Structure 1
Amino acid sequence: MNALLRAEGVGKSYTLRGRRVDVLRGVDLTVRGGEVTALVGHSGSGKTTLLHILGLLTPPDSGRVFVADTDGADPVDTAGLSDGALADLRRSRLGFVFQSYNLLPQHSALRNVVLPFTGRRAEGEARARTLLARVGLAERADHLPSELSGGEQQRVALARALINDPPAVLADEPTGNLDTESEDVLLGLFRELADEGRAVLLVTHNPSVSEFADVVHRLEKGAFVQVAAEKPATVEKPVAERARANTQTESAE
């Protein structure tokens, strides 16, 4: 499996009330295509900071981040890239999903999905409709976020994350505001993305999500303290089974 995201020796610190706080300390992490990877740990352990660094939203103080594509070309070393070059990499190679959805309230579901598209508008609208159908929301394309449930809004956010067909999807507590059924549907969609060869990286406090993942990395005080082995390919975890079943039900409807 290709390494689509890689952190080498990543460190990050902040100054709080005149004191230095080390949020990440020499972290190494590889996120591969075809896998769902979970970052777990207590609040303040550095999970979201690491996600933001891997997503090229926050620069590390030390270390390097490499971003690859599924075409087999050499990964891009992002150290020293301009803001414009980093933005181009984010648009083309990374999709983001956040706990609070981050949808624009004045725009329809369709328009929210289209907004990050980098090509022609007509092409973007056609792709957005295809993606909304994929996440089970074809009939809700013209609805405003306020007219959608939390689970539906998060699926719109996932469709938006996929609009430029990125090889990696990063999600920060994506199930944090969802009920169990909506959570299972979303996790089923993440599983589909991994099965297509994409890398899926989830930050979570939710034990169900870490159970669902193929690989789990635990952060504590800015460093990894435990790495769970990849689950055997022949083992289906209960959450994954539930997720697949719910996704199939959504598609059938």
Structure 2
Amino acid sequence: MKVELLVSEWCASCHQSEKIWREVAEEKDIEFSVLDMGQPEGRALVSRLRLKTIPAVVIDGELKGIGVQTFAEARAWVAAAPAKQKTDMQHAGLTLSLDNRLFMLGAMVYLMLGGLGLVINGALLSDGPARPVALHLVTVGFMLMLIYGLAAHMLPRFTGNPILMGVWPWIQMGLVHAGLLAYSAGFLAGMYPVVIAGGALIWLSLLVFTVRIWPVLWPKPRNNGLVIPLHIQPGE
């Protein structure tokens, strides 16, 4: 059973509808996806079903309902679907998950810490041990953490594929934090084995990220190869 929830970023009630349907999708073995009407696939569905209101629920290609359903109503609509077996693969929604939010918040913190290197002893311009520390706070701490959070949130939405969740994002986060801490402390203390250990931990976080993202990059064929035309009237 395929369930598609058509939403939009600006739709306040869509967030509540998505929350309800995600809870149902955790219980039932359904192919659940959230389609943003701002994306091509969402616009195609709007055109085909001539939708005027969102959120809208489409089950097996047919419009089932409009608006926010109660949890009981949503469960009743998919009652025929079998119970779902537990899995760590999850679809991304409109709202940032806690792990992605923390990745981005961590990126901002590291950016501020790295920026202090411009003030304290001119770390980015000096040749002392503070320079590589400041540089890695910006490159690994800020840039890599920001990539982690944005990629895990946006790429599954672009491809429609689920991403590996469960404990894996937390392992990834712990590795990059521990690696950056060890890397920085090793440079400041002149303990290069600690620097190497920190680099290894950062590499392991990249490995976990790759394992999580790799399946997302290969979307499954949809609509049996058929393309639903999107007709846009002039001036729209």
TM bucket (normalised to shorter chain) is: under 0.3
Greater Cα radius of gyration, structure 1 or 2: 2
Q: TM-score, normalised by structure 2?
A: 0.24
Which protein is richer in helix relative to its size?
Answer: 2
**Higher share in strand:** 1
